[in-house]
A and B are shown apart, each in its own frame.
Chain A
Amino acid sequence: MEMKGLDYVVLNQGNAQLTELYRAHIGDWPKFFKMDTLSKAGFVASELLLKKIGERRCEGDEFIQNRAIVLFGSTASLCADRNYQETIQDKDNYYPSPALFVYTLPNIVTGEIAIRNHWRGETSFYVLEEPDAAQMAFHLACAFQDSVTESILAGWVDSRMNDDFQVFMTIIRKEDAADTERLAGQLQLIINDLNK
């Protein structure tokens, strides 16, 4: 049986690109402007991917409602951490902000995407040393052990600085994960693209 490669979206070109893409292709989710870079990057990439595969947002479709979101990254929320740290570093300029603090958790991006799509499945964020295709494939295959998970929005999301990020998003179906080695091979192709 011939299996086609995974559909995916890669973004890595600065914050201005994210706002531009948002205005050009999304436009109906003002929460976007509140998000930190990590969430913006993950959100925009997920929206573009869903457009690309032609999936409609569909309330009441259990198959889609149960979709899991499993993301990986190496810097986690470091960028948001630095932004928040600035607000508490100086005694004379101390203004801790809840709007910044909430983004100091990397799994917030999984929540942002779940809210947008009304997905009530599993959401997970794993921190790895680097985008290791074999390690990601193993943990994605593990996620299908959940009784309701039939598909996963999976990806790599990293942001070191406010204007510096790397993200890919792809959809993995249960059958894609049956052969973990093959899945790792497919993820490696995407990672190669990410590093271009």
Chain B
Amino acid sequence: MDRVIRCIADNVVSPLGTTSRSNYDSVKAGRSGLERYESMGNITTPFVLSRVDRKVIDGLCAELGISGNYTFFEKFLLCSSVQAVRDSGIDASSDRVLFIVSTTKGNVSLLGQPEEGIAQERVLLAKAAREVTWFFGNPNSPIVVCNACISGVCAQIEAMRALCTGRYDYAVVIGADEQSPFIISGFLSFKAISDEPCRPFDKDRKGLNLGECAATVVLEASDVKDSGWELVCGAIRNDANHISGPSRTGEGSYLCLMEVRKECRRQELAFVNVHGTATAYNDEMESIALYRAGLIDVPVTGLKGYYGHTMGAAGIMESILSMYAVRDNTVLATRGYREQGTTYPVSVSSETRECKGSEFIKLLSGFGGSNAALLYRFVE
């Protein structure tokens, strides 16, 4: 039998909680981390952001025994991964464990604000990731997936492939991004940010909100049948159309969906967890891709109204919450949605719905024309 890739532990640290369970319960109860800011640093345009309280992270570090000279971004990675690794029971110092970090901008805030006791070279993503592997005493060179907004799904796909080769037994996949003025000003310059809580798929959507989150999955390669979440397959495809705008035909997302559909048992598909950034173009593009892939009738749910766009963490955190939702027979409400606002009517709702099935698809798209999807299945 082929190796099965199973998720054996997970963690989410966000403004809504410091465990996956507390995050899921918060979202199900309708809580959101989004707040309005009038300014930040040199930014004087108002925006809405989901920001983690630094004191909570410092408190968590103390509780988890994370001490040393770390940047906020590194602490964020560690807070999530230390909990997930602890819960998995694996020995992370083994050379049979691969660490994969998913981030877009890592320690980029060091460029504008160098920190005492932190070497400036930690602005290099692999150097920041090395801090994490050193913490765990892991001897392997870490790899950082830096594929814009789709990084979190790509990192899980890369972990699955690395495990399938047999070289590793476990992969610790960690995603995080710090929302510094660097990223916020950039998205503001794109006129992509809304000054209100975002409205995914709604006809009045005005743009996205950014958010902070750190999320981890620990994946295991196994030759034996067991109960649990299996990462079945995934795909990454390019639109080959535009570097900063989605394709009008949803080409890359469509190709990704068609690829994961090959393994998907349609009657078992509980929902598609979409990107749903609430920009005019993204949500329209996703509706086209879902339609073209024959999935327009499948329940769709998006989490940006609770977390904002969490960049490197998005693909991992949104996969974890989807696992909890499937086990709870629930399609989480798409917060902010009111009225259909895409050409093709996706099955999205502002209310929590019941669902059946043991599988879900996670879909993402991002700058560089990149798209990615993966399929998770719960095996009893």
A residues with a Cβ closer than 8 A to B are: 69, 74-76, 78, 81-82, 84-85, 88-91, 94, 96-98, 101-102, 104-108, 110-112, 114-115, 117-129, 132, 135, 138-139, 141-143, 145-148
List the 8 closest A-B pairs by CB distance, nearest first: A111-B368, A101-B186, A142-B161, A127-B144, A96-B189, A114-B238, A122-B236, A107-B368
- Determine, out of B9-17, B73-81, B119-127, B221-229, the stretch whose residues face the partner at the interface: B119-127
Point out the residue from B182, B262, B368, B370 that lies within 8 Å of A88, measured CB to CB: B182
B98 CB to nearest chain A CB (Å): 10
Query: Does A78 lie within 8 Å of B112, measured CB to CB?
Result: no
Residue of B nearest to A104 (CB): B186
Which residues of A are found within 8 Å of B241, using beta-carbon distances? 115
Which residues of A are found within 8 Å of B190, using beta-carbon distances? 98, 101-102
Task: Tell whether B111 is near chain A: CB-to-CB under 8 Å.
Answer: yes
Once A129-B126, A129-B127 are accepted as A-B contacts, the answer to whether A124 and B105 lie under 8 Å apart by CB is no
Query: Does B189 lie within 8 Å of A124, measured CB to CB?
Result: no
Which residues of B are found within 8 Å of A98, using beta-carbon distances? 186, 189-190, 244
Which residues of A are found within 8 Å of B255, using beta-carbon distances? 120
- Selected A-B contacts with CB under 8 Å, 16 pairs: A74-B126, A78-B123, A102-B367, A105-B367, A107-B368, A114-B238, A120-B240, A121-B237, A123-B236, A124-B147, A124-B154, A125-B145, A126-B143, A126-B158, A128-B144, A147-B262
Task: Tell whether B369 is near chain A: CB-to-CB under 8 Å.
Answer: yes
Point out the residue from A69, A94, A97, A126 that lies within 8 Å of B146, measured CB to CB: A126
Which residues of A are found within 8 Å of B238, using beta-carbon distances? 69, 110-111, 114, 119-123
Query: Does B368 lie within 8 Å of A129, measured CB to CB?
Result: no
- Determine, out of B86-94, B162-170, B198-206, B291-299, the stretch whose residues face the partner at the interface: B162-170
Query: Does A76 lie within 8 Å of B147, measured CB to CB?
Result: no
Query: Does B236 lie within 8 Å of A78, measured CB to CB?
Result: no
Interface string of B335-366 (1 = CB under 8 A from A): 00000000000000000000000000000000
Size category, B interface: 35 or more
User: Once bound together, how far apart are the Cα atoms of A106 and B164, in whole Å?
Assistant: 27
A142 CB to nearest chain B CB (Å): 4
Task: Tell whether B104 is near chain A: CB-to-CB under 8 Å.
Answer: yes
A32 CB to nearest chain B CB (Å): 13
Once A108-B243, A135-B143 are accepted as A-B contacts, the answer to whether A89 and B186 lie under 8 Å apart by CB is no
User: Once bound together, how far apart are the Cα atoms of A124 and B146, in whole Å?
Assistant: 8
Task: Tell whether B239 is near chain A: CB-to-CB under 8 Å.
Answer: yes
Query: Does A105 lie within 8 Å of B158, measured CB to CB?
Result: no
Query: Does A125 lie within 8 Å of B146, measured CB to CB?
Result: yes
Task: Tell whether B22 is near chain A: CB-to-CB under 8 Å.
Answer: no
B157 CB to nearest chain A CB (Å): 9
B362-380 residues with Cβ-Cβ distance < 8 A to A are 367-370
Task: Tell whether B274 is near chain A: CB-to-CB under 8 Å.
Answer: no
Once A104-B105, A120-B240, A120-B255 are accepted as A-B contacts, the answer to whether A135 and B141 lie under 8 Å apart by CB is yes
Which residues of B are found within 8 Å of A148, using beta-carbon distances? 259
A134 CB to nearest chain B CB (Å): 9
Query: Does B111 lie within 8 Å of A85, measured CB to CB?
Result: yes
* New contact pairs (6) apart from A120-B252, A135-B143, CB-CB < 8 Å: A101-B187, A102-B367, A104-B105, A120-B238, A128-B141, A139-B162
Query: Does B125 lie within 8 Å of A127, measured CB to CB?
Result: yes
Query: Does A115 lie within 8 Å of B243, measured CB to CB?
Result: yes
Query: Does A75 lie within 8 Å of B124, measured CB to CB?
Result: yes
A184 CB to nearest chain B CB (Å): 13
Once A96-B186, A119-B238, A124-B154 are accepted as A-B contacts, the answer to whether A110 and B368 lie under 8 Å apart by CB is yes
Once A114-B369, A120-B255 are accepted as A-B contacts, the answer to whether A132 and B164 lie under 8 Å apart by CB is no
Task: Tell whether B185 is near chain A: CB-to-CB under 8 Å.
Answer: yes
Once A115-B243, A147-B259 are accepted as A-B contacts, the answer to whether A108 and B251 lie under 8 Å apart by CB is no
Task: Tell whether B130 is near chain A: CB-to-CB under 8 Å.
Answer: yes
Task: Tell whether B235 is near chain A: CB-to-CB under 8 Å.
Answer: yes
Name the residue among A119, A132, A145 with the largest chain B CB count within 10 angstroms. Answer: A145
Residue of B nearest to A93 (CB): B42
Point out the residue from B112, B143, B185, B370 that lies within 8 Å of A107, measured CB to CB: B370
Once A115-B243, A126-B144, A126-B145 are accepted as A-B contacts, the answer to whether A139 and B158 lie under 8 Å apart by CB is yes
